[in-house]
Amino acid sequence: MEHYPRLVGDVGGTNARFAIETAAGCFEAPAIYPNKDFAGFADVLRHYLSQEEAVLAGSKKLKYAAVAIANPIEGDWIKMTNSAWAFSIERIRTEFGFEVFIMVNDFTALAMSLPSLPPAYTKQCGGKTAKKGRAIGLIGAGTGLGVSGLIPAQDGWIPLEAEGGHVTFSPFDELEIDILELARKKYRHVSAERFLSGRGIEFLYELLSEIKKGERRSLAASDIIEHALNEKNGLCDQVIDVFCDMFGTIAANLALTLGAKGGIYIGGGIIPRLGERFFASGFRKRFEDKGRFSDYLAGIPVFVITDTYAAFGGVSLLLDNYLKRTSVV
């Protein structure tokens, strides 16, 4: 029995995305909502399901639902790391009348979408050709820093449920050492996410203004990016330079850890927002700057994901796998 229509979703720390899957790979009535406009997950879901487009796509007939979320999934209770939202998975299932409702990690879902992601929805940043049947790495900066990957298995792929964004940040040069020393005055543990995220860009701006200008200043990440895209050699431009360099280091660490000859993919909202500014940055140079393993990394391609709804395909596959395991018919 086919399990359609069904709900798919992708909830980050800033936005919630939903669609109705009416047939395999056919996602109708896609929508994006800012989290700040809703008190909780149930509120935004209720709002989406009541919209005319969703109703026409079958929102009143849903029995199966799967939603990716920027959070570890441990048991029934969800308390988002980078949002105030908290809720019970089972309570959502019963409130909305779903027979099956599962939640999965957002980057695990995005990783599952990669093997079938059309090349038109990616843009390559250096390297050679991805090797088939080899591990694939995934990293992305948004409200937080997401990390996952795919390990090849005999009958497909095994997605990783990882929290690599919270690994300890490691500086590469003297400037990054200075940045880390200042950051440690505020945080005992400085993770990669402290710098490689939306809030991280704001934190970098504060620290670099103190280092370069002698006084700590504050500015919203959106404004920093906007100034960097339109100005040259200003403080915002320097912030993005440092951000991209740091991103190259952590992406290369992931590539080495996984042996990601199948490529590194970049998701999240920030890198696509930077556009050509990212491709002109020091990211690729830093990515390959690993001493004896520089040649190893030089061949690994990096792909920036440009599809806003890319995770939906992975969410759908994870729901399929769940239904097969539980023999839901």
β-bridge mates for residue 15, sequence order: 34
Is 313 among the annotated ligand-binding positions? no
Is 106 among the annotated ligand-binding positions? no
Is 9 among the annotated ligand-binding positions? yes
Strands of 100-105's sheet, edge to edge? 26-34, 15-23, 6-11, 64-69, 100-105
Cα–Cα distance for residue pair 106/10, rounded to 1 Å: 7
Is 155 among the annotated ligand-binding positions? no
User: What SS3 state is found at 154?
Assistant: coil
Is 10 among the annotated ligand-binding positions? yes
Q: Which helix (H) or strand (E) holds 325?
A: helix 311-325
Cβ(187)–Cβ(207) below 8 Å: no
Cβ(245)–Cβ(229) below 8 Å: no
Distances (CA, A) of 290 to 74, 251, 294: 35, 12, 5
Is 129 among the annotated ligand-binding positions? no
Annotated binding site: 9-14
Annotated binding site for ATP: 9-14
